[in-house]
Structure 1
Amino acid sequence: MATPKIAIVCEFLTVMGGAENVVLAMHEAFPSAPIYTALYKPEAVPAFNHADVRTSKLQKLPKFLRKTHRLFPTLAVKAFQEFDLSEFDIILTSAYLNANQIKKSRPGQKIISYCHTPARYYWSHYDLYRKQPGFGMLNPVIRALMPILVPHQRKLDYEAAQRVDVWIANSTETQKRIKTYYGKQATVIHPPVETNRFTPARTRSDYYVTLGRQLPNKRFDLAVAACTELGVPLKVFGKGEMHDELRKIAGPTIEFYTDRFGDASDEAVERALNHAKGFVFPSDEDFGIVSVEALAAGAPVIGYDSAGTRDIVTQGETGVLFARQTVDDVAEAIKRAETIRWFPSKLNRTARRFDKSLFLTKLRKVVYDQWR
């Protein structure tokens, strides 16, 4: 039987994060598949240098306008709708915003969506983003415009969802959202994690780690404030619009690492996690690949009891969950973690149920089942 021609579609390739790691694994599963994306920044995502990346018309915008693409969501919708994917049998999307806006152009084509979440801006977290849009000085303007613009974007998103043939959710929480907002059933395949990257140290150091894009909704301020209050060492990896604010509230036990290709490189993160006393994860995430990486490195997770974290962390066995996103709750969870004896090798074994090899096997099966 002939193999299908497959295209991979994702929102953006401009920074390396969890969604981009999923796209990279998709390309590993289907190496001959080109990757279609709205915007591509090769120097920021060198892992894709070997891939056939094809960009939308947004790539031709002046650089300063490309940086403000979030201000023009309808342009991104149109850019995806204008992709010509007529040569492909299977269109595999990695979606959390506009990737599902692509359209079929002939009978027999199938769209399979790996959904990180239905767009949080439009659905599950609309109220939160209206309070904290994340546009700095433009926040008052964005707050005023959201009730006017979002209903239309929500409509476009819902219509695009109805064209998808097969839904894959990255967590049970995302599975519920797909049902709630799109009225569709989804199969859960957890994101790929390279658990073999990590070698847990039996003797742990005295510091904690937190890691990720420093955006308002990620709530890294809770980790920094709690560890400052407790006087415990915390290594903070990453950067973002909240970085300066985090530095202002940080005490002397907090250290920051920001260079993605230097002191915050993959190797630096691996070394830190392999010896960390624990990993603080205060975010309300759809899944949270970094939490699995922490477990693979033998570090228990001190995490917010919500969404994807519930798929990863078992209370008192692989970490400590806290019920509210407050400094006091995070501090109490860290203090409780200090009283538990953790076994790094056991945490590492628990993480292996999310190993990339399982993701590749399950994804290939879903795709080829649609071709038979």
Structure 2
Amino acid sequence: MNRTAFVHDWLAGGNAGAEKVLVEMLNALPQTPIYTMVYQPADFVGTPLEHAEVHTSAIQHWPKGVSSYRTYLPFMPYQVEQFDLTDYDTIVSSSHAVAKGVLVGAGQLHVSYVHSPIRYAWDLYHQYLREANLTSGVKATLAKIVLHYIRLWDHSTANRVDVFLANSHYVAQRIWRTYRRPAQVLYPPVDVARFDHTRPREDFYLTMSRFVPYKKIDLIVETFTRSGRPLIVIGSGPDFEKIRATAGPNVQLLGRQSDEAVADYMSRCKAFVFAADEDFGIVPVEAQAAGAPVIAYGKGGSLETVVADVTGVFFGQQNVESLTRAVGIFEARAEQFDSETIRKHAEQFRPERFRAQFSAILAAAEEAKRSGTDPEQAVLALDLRNL
């Protein structure tokens, strides 16, 4: 019997998109053990991760290891290599940081689902240093040296992976640029069933995100403050107070909300606004599952999840003028957007389809490994469209 293990970067800090992917992998392969840097069960109450078999690294027991795990990033490449996975036939890593660098033997199959190559070491390197105020001085030099060596390690560990999976074509392009390896695209699962697309639309716009710079919530708030159009903002994060200080009376900042409240607002909003350059972007798909048109920045994953003039409208630059024009275009065409059509588009991302595609990928890769052929080519040859 084939034995499988999952390796995930960390299970702490909230149940985000990467963790939702892991949940559906676990639903496809119940009782599969998980290896991860740190684990905070309280973050996953009510999910399959709450009672999963989880093995952690030494960081779990270090001072503030669970609450401040990111400060231990320089030690994570070493720690992920300490997981002993010799008893498993197949290793599936779920990686946006170090999980793909796990050590595997020649007889083992390693399939790596890459949410993104390490963004703060590669694409967002200079932005990360600026936002962390690490552009000069001793601390900045140390940070640059650490990230330099993480890049070297990250690139070298690509050879430990038999098959790369990407969460979008956008990320597949970045995997090729970073590792010079092709990747099969497996879109993340979105729980479309929890959204109601049949309710009447009301006269307010909606956005939802963590309040961090690259999400561009400040741009959305400034744009709607200037126009006077009603906007509801859900989410929290480091920039919350700074953005709240700039918001006009037409903008409501609600902070974090329950899943039920989020589904309610998405089911009623006039349109959902999304201004980030994301690898995939689950939230715009959730909005479409609720029948809401999306006004999105036309770069990155949004180009794969939003259909221009069918499920939404794109804007070309991350500035007030471009977003304002897009909102005006949307309002002029608002009657052409049909909630039923938008919901039908979102259905392609349902969890059941993800599990079927994931299972087909693993079956093809494992059969290729057993027969002595190339698992990567076997997976790339799969046509997942009909699953």
Could you list the runs of 5+ residues in structure 1 that have no partner in the other structure?
A: none
Counterparts of 1:348 and 1:164 in 2: how far apart (Å)? 36
In structure 2, the residue matched to 1:132 is: 131
1:267 to 252, 260, 269: 260
**1:193, 1:354 within 8 Å by CA — same for their partners in 2?**
yes
1:308-347 counterparts in 2 under 5 A? 308-340=301-333, 341=335, 342-347=337-342
Partners of 2:189 and 2:225 lie apart in 1 by 33
SS at match of 1:250: coil
Q: 3-state SS of the aligned residue for 1:249?
A: coil
The yes-or-no answer on 1:113 pairing with 2:129 is: no
Question: 2:74–2:146: 8 Å Cα contact kept in structure 1?
Answer: no
**Equivalents in 2 of 1:144, 1:337: separation in Å?**
47
| TM-aligned CA deviation for residue 282 of structure 1 | 0.6
Taking the aligned partners of 1:275 and 1:13, their CA distance within structure 2 comes to 33
Amino acid at match of 1:336: I
Partner of 2:168: 171
Superposition map of 1:96-245 within 5 A: 96-104=96-104, 106-133=105-132, 143-245=140-242
Cα distance per residue 1:287-314 (max 9 Å; x no partner):
0011111111011111111111110112
Give the structure 2 partner of residue 32 of structure 1.
Answer: 31
- Cα separation, 2, equivalents of 1:277 and 1:32: 42
Partner of 2:353: 358
Please say if residues 77 and 101 of structure 2, whose CA atoms lie closer than 8 Å, have aligned partners that are also in contact. yes
* Seq. identity, %: 35
Q: Deviations over 1:151-181 (max 9, x none)?
A: 2110100111111000001101111111111
Q: Deviations over 1:212-258 (max 9, x none)?
A: 22211111111111111111222222211111112111111222233
Q: Is the 8 A contact 1:212 1:237 kept in 2?
A: yes
What's the offset of the Cα at 1:202?
4.4
Alignment partner, residue 246 of structure 2: 249
- Structure 1 residue 329 displacement after superposition: 1.7
TM-score (norm 1): 0.92
Q: Distance in 1 between matches of 2:239 and 2:67?
A: 17
**Unpaired segments ≥5 residues, structure 2:** 368-387
Provide TM-score, normalisation by structure 2.
0.89
What amino acid does structure 2 have at the position aligned with 1:337? Answer: F
2:2 counterpart of 1:9: no
Structure 1 pair 257–36 and aligned structure 2 pair: CA distance change class (3 A): farther
Aligned residues: 361
RMSD: 1.7
Distance 1:338 1:246 in 2: 25
Bigger drift between 198-207 and 111-120 goes to 198-207
Three-state SS of the structure 2 residue aligned to 1:159 is: helix
Runs of 4+ in 1 over 3 A off after TM superposition: 65-69, 137-147
**Is the Cα contact below 8 Å between 2:192 and 2:346 reproduced in 1?**
yes
Aligned partner of 1:294 in structure 2 is 287
> Which of 272, 275, 295 matches 1:279?
272
Give, as a single letter, the amino acid of the residue that structure 2 aligns with 1:81.
E
Answer with 66-75 or 210-219: which moved more: 66-75
Bigger shift: residues 38-47 or 345-354 = 38-47
TM superposition shift of 1:139: 7.3
Give the match's secondary structure for 1:39.
coil
CA contact (8 A) 1:201 1:275 kept: no
Residue 70 (structure 1) aligns with? 70
One-letter amino acid of the structure 2 residue matched with residue 83 of structure 1: F
Decide whether aligned partners of structure 1 residues 140 and 200 sit closer, same or farther in structure 2, where only a CA change above 3 A counts: farther
8 Å CA contact 1:131–1:143 kept in 2: the answer is: no
Give the secondary structure class of the aligned counterpart of 1:85: coil
Amino acid across the alignment from 1:326: N
Query: Hey, what does 1:60 align to over in structure 2?
Result: 61
Q: How far off is 1:143 after superposition?
A: 4.2
**In the alignment, which residue of structure 2 is the partner of 1:82?**
82
